[in-house]
């Protein structure tokens, strides 16, 4: 699924694919390298596990540009969270992990997704409804959770806050969305950490009613919110706006626990499950080379200027056994 998406996409604020190939035991996907790790790692190592308002603006703005591009390609990302935003060596970030993304037949049909997977705590309430019908507005809700977490170091809702909606029809939910879950409020210390403008921005994104939610008509409405007043969008698109964090180059920007990196990468090869002919057939045609695809010999950056697709790539390998594309995400 992810390879099929990525081979049709190229954008500077996405983690782009460059090659895909396989051997007898593994699938390989060569993607942009992210030496700064993911935003979860950087957030965990920030002071008080929080970013400043200006830093958060940079990361939310980048996410919005990536979502605007994906929505223009009739794709819902569907799993927005700090773990899925990767940082390059210069501090710019890229949205990654299209494992549970959904492509509509057309941009106009983006409101018709019925997939139920996602990550609890980031999923919009309408996704929990019977039939799970949702669209662009669900991405806006997740963006609000993401923004809240970047500045406050925690999500605005517990993971199970909307589970009570399960089994409720979308029609019944929309009659009175405020009766489900709970209203986002900033109280106590939280109200001191973020200003009124920021509170208004996040509350508007996390509105339980997808019809009233900031950005429901498109992420451009979010970009035009007062919270972004004076933000240098062109500088970000052109990558001339300085990132708020430049990752250290003398360390691995990833939490390894007690494991030594050499032990991790040089560990003894575990015995792989032998695939049946039927299982192996599922991987027929798993190959991709960006240099041989018309229009993919350059990566589209924010202002449309090309960049070198061979700059900074990493190889992701996986064994050939079939896997659940929703793994590591809650269904």
- DSSP 3-state of 1: coil
- 163 vs 181, 201, 226, 328, 331, CA distance in Å? 8, 25, 32, 18, 12
Q: Rounded distance, CA 81 to CA 68, Å?
A: 16
Q: Rounded distance, CA 162 to CA 37, Å?
A: 31
- DSSP 3-state of 137: helix
Q: Rounded distance, CA 146 to CA 151, Å?
A: 9
Tokens encoding 88: 């390059």
Tokens encoding 129: 């409804």
Q: What is the CA radius of gyration of the chain?
A: 20
Active site residue 79: yes
- Give me the catalytic one of 32, 38, 79, 97: 79
Q: Which residues pair with 316 in a beta bridge?
A: 29
Q: Rounded distance, CA 205 to CA 212, Å?
A: 9
Tokens encoding 146: 């993401």
**Count of H helices and E strands in the chain?**
11, 10
Q: DSSP assignment, residue 233?
A: H
What backbone phi and psi angles, to 5 degrees, belong to 217? -90, -10
Q: Alpha-carbon dihedral of residues 234, 30, 85, 251, nearest 10 degrees? A: -100
Active-site annotation, residues: 79
């Amino acid at each position: 699924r992810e390879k099929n998406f990525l081979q049709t996409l190229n954008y500077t604020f996405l983690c782009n694919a460059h090659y895909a190939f396989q051997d007898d035991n593994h699938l390989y996907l060569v993607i942009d390298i992210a030496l700064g790790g993911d935003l979860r790692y950087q957030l965990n190592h920030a002071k008080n596990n929080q970013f400043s308002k200006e830093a958060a603006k940079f990361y939310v703005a980048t996410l919005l540009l990536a979502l605007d591009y994906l929505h223009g390609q009739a794709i819902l990302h569907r799993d927005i969270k700090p773990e899925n935003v990767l940082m390059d060596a210069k501090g710019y970030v890229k949205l990654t992990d299209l494992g549970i993304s959904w492509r509509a037949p057309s941009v106009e049909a983006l409101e018709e997704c019925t997939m139920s997977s996602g990550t609890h705590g980031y999923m919009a309430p309408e996704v929990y409804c019977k039939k799970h019908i949702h669209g662009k507005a669900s991405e806006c809700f997740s963006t609000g959770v993401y923004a809240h977490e970047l500045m406050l170091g925690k999500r605005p809702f517990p993971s199970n806050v909307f589970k009570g909606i399960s089994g409720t029809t979308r029609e019944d939910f929309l009659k009175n969305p405020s009766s489900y879950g709970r209203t986002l409020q900033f109280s106590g210390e939280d109200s001191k950490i973020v200003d009124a403008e920021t509170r208004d921005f996040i509350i508007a994104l996390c509105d339980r009613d997808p019809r009233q939610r900031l950005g429901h008509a498109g992420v451009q409405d979010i970009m035009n919110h007062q919270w972004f007043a004076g933000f240098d969008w062109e500088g970000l698109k052109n990558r001339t706006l300085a990132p708020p964090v430049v990752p250290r180059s003398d360390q691995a920007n990833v939490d390894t626990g007690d494991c030594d990196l050499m032990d991790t990468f040089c560990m003894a090869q575990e015995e792989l499950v032998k695939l049946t002919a039927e299982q192996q057939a599922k991987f027929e045609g798993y190959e991709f080379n960006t240099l041989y695809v018309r229009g993919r010999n350059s990566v589209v950056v924010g202002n449309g200027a090309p960049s070198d697709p061979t700059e900074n790539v990493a190889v992701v390998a996986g064994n050939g056994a079939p896997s659940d594309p929703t793994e590591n995400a809650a269904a």
